Amino acid sequence: TITDYLVWGGFPKRIEFDADAQKRYLEDLDETIIYKDIILRYKIRKPELFRTVSDFVLRSNSRIVSYNAIHKALKQKLSCSLNTIIKYIDYLEGAFIIDRLKLYSPKTKQELNFYRKSYNADVSLNSIRCMDKRFDLDHNIENIVYNELIYLGYNLYVFKNSNREIDFLAKKDNMEYLIQVAYSVVDEKAYAREFRAFNGLDNSRQKILISNDDIDYSTSTVRHISFKDFLEHGI
């Protein structure tokens, strides 16, 4: 089901197990790929610190991951340098556990390296770290859209519209799309927030909203695509 995919992601072998065994399989996979392989490969001398940093980053999918913010949060509990945190996050990216997305500045028409959003290779890497089944569907749906767009060959950036952030500027075959992603816009505040991100922009780029809603919320300037249709047909 869609909800199952939003929570437990797309590692194909997991569907061979029942619900409880699926979580154990994903946890074992996580332990092998993220911890054992990387710790051994890079001869990490502080494995518990690496685990703590990894957990923080993987719970922060579809968000800005700031080296300084992580350092500030962790240094009160653990002895660590900013350089160590940068190195650990680079290890995760180098192992394709996470990917980090740059900001595109429309004023300078260039990428800004200091601003990065982090996306997990699979949303299960977030979900297995959730407590009491409080799964992060809002960020997981954005993460899945990111992974799917990359798979489909789009070049992606975060787009800044004045003081508002649009999730993706997607480029492919001389076409450009501005894409907002939300779990649902049924709530009036969510609807206003997502559509407000496009305010003031001309129609030189197609504007798209992707959500898990079945109702078509398209307007004269913004095309709404249900998450299910996006997975089947793209944009």
Spatial contact of 135 and 125, defined as CB atoms under 8 Å apart: no
Q: Which two tokens stand for residue 94?
A: 């180098």
Q: What is the mean pLDDT of the chain?
A: 92
Q: What is the pTM of this model?
A: 0.93
d(CA 39, CA 22): 25
Average pLDDT value for residue range 131-142: 93
pLDDT for 22: 92
* Helix, strand and coil percent figures for the chain, each rounded to 5: 45, 25, 30
Q: Which residues contact 164 (CB under 8 A, 6 or more apart)?
A: 196, 197, 199
Least confident segment among 86-90, 107-111, 150-154, 183-187: 107-111
Q: Taking Cα atoms as reference points, which of 86, 103, 107, 121 lies closest to residue 167?
A: 103
Least confident interval from 5-19, 109-123, 189-203:
109-123
Q: What pLDDT score does 107 carry?
A: 65
The pLDDT assigned to 113 comes to: 58
